[in-house]
Amino acid sequence: MIILPPVCLGVAELTVSTIPQVWLLSFVPITATEYVSFSAIAVAILGQWLAITIISLQMTRKLKQAGASETKILMNRVNTLSN
Is 24 strand, coil or helix? Answer: coil
60 by Cβ neighbours in 10 Å (0-12 / 13-18 / 19+) ranks as: exposed
What is the percent of the chain with per-residue pLDDT over 90, rounded to a whole number?
A: 24
Residues sharing a CB contact under 8 Å with residue 32, sequence separation 6 or more, in sequence order: 16, 20, 21, 23, 24
> What pLDDT sits at residue 54?
97
Confidence of residue 77 (pLDDT cuts 50, 70, 90): confident
Whole-number pLDDT of residue 30: 85
Residue 71 pLDDT grade (very low, low, confident, very high; cuts 50, 70, 90)? confident
Task: Please tell me the pTM assigned to this model.
Answer: 0.64
Per domain, the residue ranges of the chain are: 1-36, 38-83
Which residues are CB-neighbours of 29 under 8 A, at least 6 positions away?
23, 41, 44
